[in-house]
Amino acid sequence: MKVLVAGNKDYGVAKSIYKLFPYAEFVSRSNGDWDLSKYQAQRDLAKKSLDFDVFISVSTIWKFHQTTLVQEVSKAWEESNHKGYMIVFGSSADTPVKASTWMYPTEKKALRAYCRQISQKSSGDQPWPIKMTYIAPGHIHTPKQDEKHPTRKKLDCDYIASVVKWLLSQPDDVNISEICFDRKV
């Protein structure tokens, strides 16, 4: 299984994914020259993704660029009738519970809606070669989150990576549309 990850293999969940899939290829602005906030880079990555069985988007890219990246990859796969599995990381913040002008929840809500739309094609009347899972974790134990929320309980990156491994072990004819989880208090 060939795995392509949009994320920094030296940080957070991507680092934990790298531990489980050391043969995977990782692309990001911080460990290469893939600025995925640029549309041409998104198109180039979509083309590159055609050589892989699995595409994992674990990068948080501001201003809706994670959504447009996933759109470019799914369009490339659809146009090529490429069989594969996309696993996209969003956030449980996609369901805001308080009034705010913060765009992050809105961006994640758009990402979730787009992933759900693609996922629903797999259960339609026509054959669809793409599996899609949207993962919405809550706060994750990373240096940045630990600094921002020092007392909050957080999900462990290795645990989240194990969920990815579990998803990839599911039968080909099963599509898990989304998973949302938070750490219990």
Q: How far is CA 64 from CA 112, 130, 137, in A?
A: 11, 22, 18
Q: Residue 42: exposed, middle, or buried by beta-carbon count in 10 A (0-12, 13-18, 19+)?
A: buried
Q: Where are the domains of the chain?
A: 3-181
Q: For residue 125, give both structure tokens.
A: 């009347």
| pTM for this predicted structure | 0.93
| Answer CATH for 3-181 from 3.20.20.70, 2.60.40.10, 3.40.50.720, 3.40.710.10 | 3.40.50.720
Q: What is the pLDDT of residue 109?
A: 82
Q: What is the pLDDT of residue 32?
A: 73
Q: How far is CA 145 from CA 47, 154, 156, in A?
A: 33, 9, 12
User: Within 10 Å of residue 140's Cβ, how many Cβ atoms?
Assistant: 20
Secondary structure (3-state) at 136:
strand
Q: What is the pLDDT of residue 69?
A: 94
Per-residue pLDDT 10s for the chain (185 aa) are: 999 999 999 999 999 999 999 999 999 988 778 888 899 999 999 999 999 999 999 987 767 788 999 999 999 999 999 999 999 998 877 676 667 777 777 788 888 899 999 999 888 778 888 999 999 998 888 888 888 888 888 899 999 999 999 999 999 999 999 999 988 87
Q: What is the pLDDT of residue 152?
A: 86
Please state, in angstroms and rounded to a whole number, the distance separating the CA atoms of residues 113 and 81: 22
